[in-house]
Structure 1
């Protein structure tokens, strides 16, 4: 394994997230029309298949902390990549609903395993004071994947099998790169480091509030992710190709989430969450008010992309900071909550659309987003980390990691206590 800098690790992690989230998971929805036509699938079959990656994502996310801690960052990420390769190959060769469903199910497992594996590697390779920034950059990799997928859809809509084979090649390259750039060991902890705080001492109040806000944001955002394309085509009368440009705008603006989330964490997380939820609601209202104007629709997608990626990045780094020493679990709670919120929101919003119409439903969900934004003072504020105030502990942790790299041939580590200063994983809240 080659040691890489924090910046390189962030960029590399963003690339893996782009493959696992952008290509293996979100790209499927863009290819549904040609896949449905070629395989002669019914709407109900497509709906069932579309739910499979969410189910496998939730199952994989629940198992991911144990997998990452047991196998270590490298093997866990490689396992994730292998599921992605298998899933993409199955989709590219699908000749029935069963084969297609198996492929998207495997891609969901890939997505669920990837981020916990990366955060486990981040604990070993990146200074703790940089964890929040690195995690937000990696999270923005989803936007990169969407940006790559959309032109592929526009140029290769009638050649979706070839498109998925190209995605498979990228996923395979990611597996190879993972083997060389991620550590093969579990998180490096000096011998005299304090253990993670017991479960009874975790900040459950803050964790509960974080999970609730992530769930509600997922509920509100599902209106755009699932029904925005139908809105602009059905209500606005725009051509189907417009939906591709909508997702391209979402991905492009989502890159800003890598920076906005970091600013939010350093300044005022509750106020920033409130602002981004307001922007999320504004994107819904703008799309519902002017679905027939392509420029306004794309502008709403830009607003949505920036708000959504900023919020998921903020939730990710908050979960990591609330669970120091448990970085394989930190991203699980908010990501799982967002997914469950989207799973709950999709059928609920669909029922509202059937009962009313697109414009009324989007307005109702936008109002809900505004109400949630007004409750943002309850969101966890600044989270103080002792290591940020004690750089010598960071140096000791890096020294311990460097020492362990020299013993990856399996020889027992010696004099580890002399190599590293004590690094505590405890945190204290300023509030």
Structure 2
């Protein structure tokens, strides 16, 4: 099928699920917390539900996609994001908000496996890498869109989520019409391989590094916007601009594949993990300066998307006989780390304050630097 026919709606779906339904929460959290009278620890627990839902739904989606093809799961992902954002927009208290967060977070796990399958089914092999890169860029697009939306809507978070829900409905319809129906008799076949990591060289470092990176990035996603709000005298557009900067620089994360080819996987991992560790420390040191805060946001946005590409390549190289497992394990452990990191971040902020918490999370990122892959060829 035509490249753009699948890729463009895919970019829009990733933008809706990852950018609007999941990562925009950190931008809108200060207003939500104030409206619903939530403490930092409660906010941290609710933020962790995004990643907890992801852990379950990515497994469910992989199983169903393997049996039935990608079209149904892509539609389910969009509807889950839609329902989650509608619930969040109308939430009268934290419990309803939490349910909306579960549905919105679950959409990201639902959408990842079917798009991988769709690309392998309907895009020519020599263009599949490009298709994956473009679709993955939807995360950054969604983050930018959420920041611009906050500027225009003056942080009316209920109205914001309502508008995001309408946009997501349009994206669901677009994807439903664009995604081919599975032809009679055809099946999506994925390499089953062994589900055991025992004896797989390099699996343990991959798991530990993914977990630590998940923990180290959780505070930034959930509380960086709240941090600069209380630390400096920022206007509404400067606060939203901080989030837009994360998204814009996230586009640069696509260069991870290029750097891996030029300098190798080990070097590229160290660059990415060191950058993602520096970002929260810089924010802690200069949160009152909008310029340095924006520098921190740019470093974090670029490094996070950069690292997801590195983990994908690392996982596939470790699990040579089972690419599905190679992709699933690092992203699952990244999400598990973010569950733990989000819960702890809210508690640490209440006990130690924002600056100390962000320095601690930066130090966890520094620990992840030394847990990277050994030298691989290329």
Pairwise TM-score range, normalised by the shorter structure: 0.7 to 0.9
Q: Which moved more, 1:34-43 or 1:204-213?
A: 34-43
The change in CA–CA distance for 1:300 and 1:12 in structure 2 (over 3 A counts) is same
Specify every segment of 5 or more residues in structure 1 that has no aligned partner in the other structure, as ranges: 384-431
Q: Which moved more, 1:90-99 or 1:213-222?
A: 90-99
Aligned length: 376
Question: Who is 1:264 aligned against?
Answer: 259
**Match for 2:218 among 215, 222, 240?**
222
Q: Distance in 1 between matches of 2:289 and 2:229?
A: 11
Question: Who is 2:168 aligned against?
Answer: 171
Question: Who is 1:282 aligned against?
Answer: 278
Using the size of structure 2 for normalisation, the TM-score is: 0.86
The change in CA–CA distance for 1:228 and 1:35 in structure 2 (over 3 A counts) is closer
Structure 1 residue 160 corresponds to structure 2 residue 154: no
Question: Who is 2:308 aligned against?
Answer: 312
**Match for 1:376 among 354, 366, 372?**
372
Q: CA RMSD in A?
A: 3.2
Report SS of the residue matched to 1:376.
coil
Question: Who is 2:2 aligned against?
Answer: 4
Residue 23 of structure 1: how far off its partner (Å):
0.7
Q: Write out aligned runs for 1:200-239 (5 A).
A: 204-239=200-235
For each residue in 1:100-120, what CA deviation from the matched residue of structure 2 results, as whole angstroms up to 9, or x when unmatched?
Answer: 332222112211100111111
Structure 1 residue 146 corresponds to structure 2 residue 143: yes
Q: Write out aligned runs for 1:246-265 (5 A).
A: 246-258=242-254, 260-265=255-260
Report SS of the residue matched to 1:204.
coil
**Is the helix fraction higher in 1 or 2?**
2
Residue 142 of structure 1: how far off its partner (Å):
0.9
For each residue in 1:259-299, what CA deviation from the matched residue of structure 2 results, as whole angstroms up to 9, or x when unmatched?
Answer: x1221343311111101122222222322222211111101
Question: Who is 1:34 aligned against?
Answer: 31
Q: Distance in 1 between matches of 2:224 and 2:26?
A: 12
The change in CA–CA distance for 1:366 and 1:83 in structure 2 (over 3 A counts) is closer
Q: Distance in 2 between matches of 1:53 and 1:25?
A: 7
**Match for 1:74 among 71, 74, 85?**
71
Residue 218 of structure 1: how far off its partner (Å):
1.4
Q: Write out aligned runs for 1:16-415 (5 A).
A: 16-40=13-37, 45-157=42-154, 159-185=156-182, 197-199=193-195, 204-239=200-235, 242-258=238-254, 260-267=255-262, 268-320=264-316, 329-350=325-346, 352-353=348-349, 356-378=352-374, 381=376
Residue 41 of structure 1: how far off its partner (Å):
5.0
Residue 132 of structure 1: how far off its partner (Å):
3.9
Larger RCO: Structure 1 or Structure 2 (Cα < 8 Å, ≥ 6 residues apart)? 2
Specify every segment of 5 or more residues in structure 2 that has no aligned partner in the other structure, as ranges: none
Residue 34 of structure 1: how far off its partner (Å):
3.2
Q: Which has more radius of gyration?
A: 1
The change in CA–CA distance for 1:309 and 1:17 in structure 2 (over 3 A counts) is same
The change in CA–CA distance for 1:277 and 1:117 in structure 2 (over 3 A counts) is same
Residue 312 of structure 1: how far off its partner (Å):
0.9
